């Protein structure tokens, strides 16, 4: 009799434990999206699900429920591409705790990858994540650099082997081979199926960094490591252009050093970049001479280069690169700005003469009057120059104060703020895509400050999505002011009225 009672108690204890485990597992599965959002802090909760999957048959429910949650809460137009990629990474890492055979992972990750293929900025977001120091995807490429990773992974896989779950039998041999050979994180790099697409995106980003960097030495060291990681993933041939770009920086530094050694009068504060034309991102061809403050040093460098690199010749790109300008105001404060060489040369003209005709400035700088007006916009917005429209002249503002720098709506303008729109010439062309939407916005809503224009473009412009910085937007607005399509009054932009 006692034995029968004990058997009954054991039976009901097992039944109750199963039901409790089943109920807890189903509750956790319904919360799985939020659990993944909190990863890695949610690892203990994933342990509960892992135990539940061992004791119950809920693996298919995990895949079905999580797939619906992802479609509802992540794969929609309101989610930023960078956030989708971040959650993809967290998803893969989190599910490793409960799905070592990656059956569930493959079922829920493929729709995410398919959705990312529809986003025009996916490649840019992936490359940005990798090239950042703390990027979530950085470890994927770092693993590719280590030669002995494959053997270590095989040992770990052998030790952690588990039999396939029941729903794995439906997979074909090809699908099985793919899952065995490709980690879901690594497969994110193949979302477009073209290594050239990633190499070209990184090439554009590298060109931007090298042309706008104020600490080029540290940046080059970091980018050399990035290139080596991309080579391990995509092959040396795909990264050849980037390798040449970095070599150009090293060659330029060496040539400038020998030029300075032979000519004691060379300005050590001026750094040039010698670009191998066919390897750098395409830039807008520019005519005209270098701005006069840099002309003498440039001619010395050009002469030395053409002596040691004959028959190669240099053709200057006068509006690429950056100049850090420090302006001391009457109250003793110092305003720092990062501008293009032509913008710096234009403002330097006002050191001795406080008022210039636009035509005279164009002749002095060897620029067209349209280029003079475009380069003057940055100084006009800062309140450092005044546009005398009746006289077709520009005048230096003698009583400038720090508060005037906010007139253009760029609060706290610093060197870092202005770097974004000083990159390779294609940036302004990319911004032109948003011109029609912007003009329509000003038509319907009237005068708007930069901050509100920027926020509305991010909210409503989806094809392509607006992912530009406020400073890049201001560059587009400057162009539209010069083209007389819009006007600026204080801190607000509006459509130009025909008087």
Q: Rounded to an integer, what distance in angstroms lies between the CA atom of residue 306 and that of residue 275?
A: 14
Domain boundary among 137, 172, 191: 191
Whether 491 is in a domain gets the answer yes
For residue 408, the SS3 value is coil
In this structure, the answer to whether residues 169 and 58 fall within a common structural domain is yes
Q: Rounded to an integer, what distance in angstroms lies between the CA atom of residue 415 and that of residue 424?
A: 17
| Total Cβ atoms within 10 A of residue 409 | 22
> Is the pLDDT confidence value at 93 over 70?
yes
**Residue 380: which of 359, 408, 353, 399 has the closest Cα?**
408
Cβ proximity of 36 and 42 under 8 Å: yes
Task: Find where tokens 């998803």 sit.
Answer: 91
Task: Find where tokens 């477009």 sit.
Answer: 192
Interval 287-301 mean pLDDT = 77
Whether 314 is in a domain gets the answer no
* pLDDT score, position 240: 93
pLDDT bucket at 413, cuts 50 / 70 / 90: very low
The CATH code of the domain that includes 458 is 1.10.10.10
In this structure, the answer to whether residues 43 and 178 fall within a common structural domain is yes
In this structure, the answer to whether residues 68 and 206 fall within a common structural domain is no
Interval 329-337 mean pLDDT = 75
Q: Rounded to an integer, what distance in angstroms lies between the CA atom of residue 46 and that of residue 342?
A: 58
In this structure, the answer to whether residues 81 and 131 fall within a common structural domain is yes
Range list of H helices, 263-398: 292-308, 341-348, 358-365, 369-382
In this structure, the answer to whether residues 355 and 384 fall within a common structural domain is yes
Between 7-21, 110-124, 230-244, 342-356, the lowest mean confidence (pLDDT) is in 7-21
Whether 225 is in a domain gets the answer yes
In this structure, the answer to whether residues 232 and 177 fall within a common structural domain is no
Domain boundary among 148, 165, 191: 191
Cβ proximity of 320 and 342 under 8 Å: no
Whether 318 is in a domain gets the answer no
> Is the pLDDT confidence value at 154 over 70?
no
Instruction: Give the orientation angle of helix 216-234 with respect to helix 240-262, to 10 degrees.
Output: 150
| Gyration radius of the chain's alpha carbons | 30
In this structure, the answer to whether residues 38 and 166 fall within a common structural domain is yes
Q: Rounded to an integer, what distance in angstroms lies between the CA atom of residue 283 and that of residue 285?
A: 6
Interval 368-388 mean pLDDT = 87
Q: Rounded to an integer, what distance in angstroms lies between the CA atom of residue 321 and that of residue 442?
A: 32
- CA dist 337 → 247, 312, 449, 477 (Å): 29, 35, 21, 19
* pLDDT score, position 357: 92
Whether 313 is in a domain gets the answer no
**386 forms bridges with which residues in the sheet?**
395
* pLDDT score, position 336: 79
Interval 430-454 mean pLDDT = 81
Whether 367 is in a domain gets the answer yes
Whether 317 is in a domain gets the answer no
Cα–Cα–Cα angle for 194, 250, 197, nearest 5°? Answer: 10
φ, ψ of residue 146 to 5 degrees: the values are -85, 120
Phi-psi region of 156 (alpha: psi -120 to 50; beta: other; left: phi over 0): alpha
Beta-carbon contacts of residue 40 (< 8 Å; ≥ 6 apart):
93, 94
In this structure, the answer to whether residues 402 and 380 fall within a common structural domain is yes
In this structure, the answer to whether residues 51 and 163 fall within a common structural domain is yes
* pLDDT score, position 120: 82
Beta-carbon contacts of residue 372 (< 8 Å; ≥ 6 apart):
346, 358, 361, 362, 365
> Is the pLDDT confidence value at 243 over 90?
yes
> Is the pLDDT confidence value at 405 over 90?
no
Q: Rounded to an integer, what distance in angstroms lies between the CA atom of residue 35 and that of residue 41?
A: 9
In this structure, the answer to whether residues 297 and 357 fall within a common structural domain is no
Q: How many domains does the chain divide into?
A: 4
In this structure, the answer to whether residues 9 and 151 fall within a common structural domain is yes
Q: According to the per-residue pLDDT averaged within each range, which of 144-153, 221-230, 333-342 is highest?
A: 221-230
Q: Rounded to an integer, what distance in angstroms lies between the CA atom of residue 104 and that of residue 97?
A: 11
Domain with 302 in it: 198-308
> Is the pLDDT confidence value at 2 over 90?
no
Between 132-141, 175-184, 226-235, 271-280, the lowest mean confidence (pLDDT) is in 175-184
What is the Cα 177 distance to its own chain's centre? 34
Beta-carbon contacts of residue 79 (< 8 Å; ≥ 6 apart):
none
Domain boundary among 172, 191, 210: 191
In this structure, the answer to whether residues 408 and 434 fall within a common structural domain is no
DSSP-derived letter for residue 497 is: P
* pLDDT score, position 499: 47
| Total Cβ atoms within 10 A of residue 351 | 8
């Amino acid at each position: 009799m006692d034995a029968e009672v004990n058997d009954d108690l054991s039976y009901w204890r097992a039944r109750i434990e199963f039901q409790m485990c089943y109920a807890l597992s189903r509750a956790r599965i319904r919360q799985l999206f939020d659990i993944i959002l909190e990863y890695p802090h949610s690892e203990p909760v994933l342990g509960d699900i892992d135990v539940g999957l061992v004791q119950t048959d809920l693996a298919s429910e995990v895949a079905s429920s999580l797939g619906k949650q992802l479609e509802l809460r992540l794969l929609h137009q309101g989610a930023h591409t960078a956030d989708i990629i971040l959650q993809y990474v967290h998803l893969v890492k989190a599910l490793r705790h409960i799905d070592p055979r990656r059956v569930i992972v493959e079922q829920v990750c493929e729709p995410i990858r398919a959705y990312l293929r529809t986003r025009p900025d996916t490649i840019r977001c992936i490359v940005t994540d990798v090239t950042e120091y703390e990027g979530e995807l950085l470890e994927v490429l770092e693993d590719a650099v280590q030669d002995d990773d494959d053997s270590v992974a095989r040992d770990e896989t052998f030790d952690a082997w588990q039999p396939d779950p029941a729903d794995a039998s439906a997979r074909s041999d090809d699908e099985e081979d793919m899952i065995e050979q490709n980690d879901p994180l690594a497969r994110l790099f193949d979302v477009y199926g073209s290594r050239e697409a990633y190499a070209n995106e990184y090439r554009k980003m590298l060109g931007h960094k090298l042309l706008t960097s104020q600490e080029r030495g540290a940046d080059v060291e970091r980018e050399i490591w990035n290139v080596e990681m991309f080579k391990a993933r995509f092959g040396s041939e795909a990264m050849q252009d980037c390798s040449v770009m970095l070599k150009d920086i090293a060659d330029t530094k060496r040539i400038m050093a020998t030029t300075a050694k032979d000519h004691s009068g060379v300005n050590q504060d001026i750094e040039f970049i010698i670009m191998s034309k066919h390897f750098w991102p395409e830039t807008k061809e520019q005519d005209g001479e270098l701005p006069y403050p840099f002309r003498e040093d440039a001619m010395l460098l050009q002469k030395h280069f053409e002596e040691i690199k004959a028959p190669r010749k240099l053709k200057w790109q006068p509006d690429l690169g950056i100049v850090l300008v420090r302006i001391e105001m009457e109250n003793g404060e110092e305003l720092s700005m990062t501008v293009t060489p032509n913008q710096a040369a234009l403002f330097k003209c006002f050191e001795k003469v406080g008022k210039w005709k636009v035509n005279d400035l164009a002749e002095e700088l060897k620029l067209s009057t349209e280029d003079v007006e475009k380069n003057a916009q940055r100084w006009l917005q800062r309140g450092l120059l005044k546009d005398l429209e009746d006289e077709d002249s520009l005048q230096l503002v003698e009583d400038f104060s720090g508060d005037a720098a906010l007139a253009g709506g760029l609060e706290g303008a610093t060197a870092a703020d202005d770097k974004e729109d000083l990159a390779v010439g294609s940036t302004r062309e990319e911004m032109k895509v948003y011109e029609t939407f912007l003009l329509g916005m000003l038509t319907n809503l009237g005068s708007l400050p930069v901050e509100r224009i920027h926020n509305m473009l991010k909210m409503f412009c989806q094809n392509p999505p607006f992912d530009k910085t406020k400073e890049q937007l201001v560059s587009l607005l400057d162009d539209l002011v010069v083209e007389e399509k819009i006007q600026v009054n204080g801190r607000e932009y509006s459509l130009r009225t025909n008087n």
